[in-house]
């Protein structure tokens, strides 16, 4: 998202839409993409890479999209 507020709203909407995300803690990360500008990414913590992969699979099964980030 182009604004932090939009990213927070997107996170809240995703948590309502995808039951796999309900109750998971989330945050917004600022990303400077150089010439493209600054964007904000909504992120949800799953605890471990294995848990994140399982959570991502659940979201995809519900019609969503996600990426497991490297730490």
What is the model's pLDDT at position 71? 61
**Helix (H) or strand (E) segment spanning residue 56:** helix 49-61
CA 34 – CA 47 distance, rounded (Å) = 30
The pLDDT of residue 41 is above 80: yes
The pLDDT of residue 24 is above 70: yes
Non-local (6+) Cβ contacts of 50 within 8 A are none
* Average pLDDT score, the chain: 92
End-to-end CA distance of the chain: 21
């Amino acid at each position: 998202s182009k604004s932090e507020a939009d990213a927070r709203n997107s996170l809240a909407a995703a948590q309502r839409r995808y039951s796999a995300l309900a109750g998971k803690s989330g945050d917004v990360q600022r990303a400077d993409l150089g010439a493209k500008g600054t964007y904000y990414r909504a992120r949800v913590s799953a605890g471990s890479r294995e848990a994140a992969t399982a959570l991502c699979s659940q979201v995809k099964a519900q019609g969503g999209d996600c990426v497991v980030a490297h730490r």
